[in-house]
Structure formats: structure tokens, C-alpha cells
């Protein structure tokens, strides 16, 4: 049986051309583009932000308290390795910065301050995005477990004392 065999370079060129056609054909209209109907579009370009120290993705997070909405830029510790490291060895964090630890599935959680240089507020968040409890002003380097009160769908770390500054308490809402 005689099979036609394409040289490797020809396959690579064909694959590259197919990817280019797919990319052009699937691209969204950019800001200031004109749609097929001739109307101008203003679709915003998606900006992926990465923290300069950790390399983790940074997303907006909103905490809603009795005093209103408070927006933070938080690093997402998504993988087990990222969650294990957390904010260890960090010496500074901005007032409106933090780190979120998504928990899927939600589960009882406990955090400690091993190798954590700065004091933190550790906020445990339920599956309904309501604050379960807050371990306020966790002491740097302390190995005592700081547990959630119930199953946490996420854990938010902010600078120590920041939760009190914004009036954050159990039952308030956190969305990311």
C-alpha cells in the first residue's frame, strides 16, 4: 500500500496557516472597529494583570460592608503550591491589595503564619460569598492554626487591621 507522506516542513506550514486562519476568523472586534453592519464598536480589550513579585494573576475583589463597597486588587493563589506559599516572605503589601485562596470544593480551612513577615487579617468566606469569620491581626511567624467557622469557598488575606478599618464583619459580602 502506497501512502502519500508530506514532508515535516509542509505539515508545519499547513498547520501554521490553519491556526492563522482560525485566529483571524475568531478574533473579536477591537475597540474602534466597525462591525459587519457598519456600526462602530467599543469592545474593551481584556487586560490580564500579573503581580510583579509573585507572578500570580491579579483580579478585582469587592467587599461590601455597612459602610459601602471597598475594592481591592488581589492575587489569586489557585494551585496547591501557590496556596501553600501564600504571602510568605513578603515584607510589604499595599492598603488595597491582598490575596484570595479559592477553595473548590468549599471545606473547613485553617491558616497559619509560618514564614509570614507582615500581620494579616484572614477572612474566611462561605459558598454564598458571605464572611464566615475573621482572624484579625494574625501574628507574624505564629504557627497556631487559625480555623474557619464552617466550610470556606475562599479565604482572603488583607493587611492586619484593614478589615476593622473598613468595618468588615461576619455576614458581609465578598465577590471576586
pLDDT digits (tens, 9 = 90+) for 3-62: 344 344 433 444 443 333 333 333 333 333 333 334 444 444 456 699 999 999 999 999
Distance CA 99, CA 92 (A): 13
Q: What residue segments make up the domains of the chain, in order of their start?
A: 1-44, 49-175
pTM of the prediction? 0.74
CATH architecture of structural domain 49-175? Sandwich (2.60)
Grid cell at residue 6? 508530506
Question: Sign of the C-alpha dihedral, residues 54, 73, 170, 132?
Answer: negative
**Radius of gyration in angstroms for the set of CA atoms belonging to the chain, rounded to a whole number:** 23
| 8 A C-beta contact, residue 130 and residue 171 | yes
Distance CA 161, CA 131 (A): 16
pLDDT digits (tens, 9 = 90+) for 51-71: 999 999 999 999 999 999 999
Span of 11-15, 93-97, 138-142, 155-159 with lowest mean pLDDT? 11-15
Residue 98, burial from CB neighbour count under 10 angstroms (0-12, 13-18, 19+): buried
Amino acid at each position: 500500500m502506497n501512502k502519500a507522506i508530506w514532508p515535516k516542513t509542509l505539515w508545519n506550514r499547513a498547520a501554521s496557516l490553519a491556526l492563522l486562519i482560525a485566529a483571524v476568523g475568531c478574533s473579536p472586534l477591537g475597540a474602534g472597529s466597525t462591525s459587519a453592519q457598519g456600526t462602530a464598536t467599543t469592545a474593551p480589550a481584556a487586560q490580564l494583570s500579573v503581580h510583579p513579585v509573585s507572578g500570580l494573576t491579579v483580579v478585582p475583589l469587592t467587599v461590601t460592608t455597612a459602610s459601602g463597597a471597598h475594592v481591592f486588587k488581589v492575587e489569586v493563589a489557585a494551585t496547591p503550591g501557590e496556596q501553600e506559599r501564600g504571602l510568605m516572605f513578603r515584607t510589604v503589601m499595599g492598603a488595597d491589595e491582598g490575596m484570595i485562596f479559592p477553595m473548590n470544593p468549599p471545606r473547613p480551612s485553617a491558616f497559619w503564619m509560618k514564614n509570614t513577615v507582615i500581620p494579616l487579617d484572614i477572612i474566611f468566606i462561605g459558598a454564598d460569598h458571605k464572611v464566615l469569620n475573621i482572624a484579625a491581626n494574625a501574628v507574624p511567624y505564629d504557627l497556631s492554626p487559625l480555623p474557619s467557622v464552617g466550610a470556606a469557598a475562599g479565604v482572603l488575606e488583607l493587611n492586619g487591621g484593614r478589615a476593622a478599618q473598613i468595618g468588615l464583619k461576619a455576614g458581609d459580602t465578598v465577590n471576586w
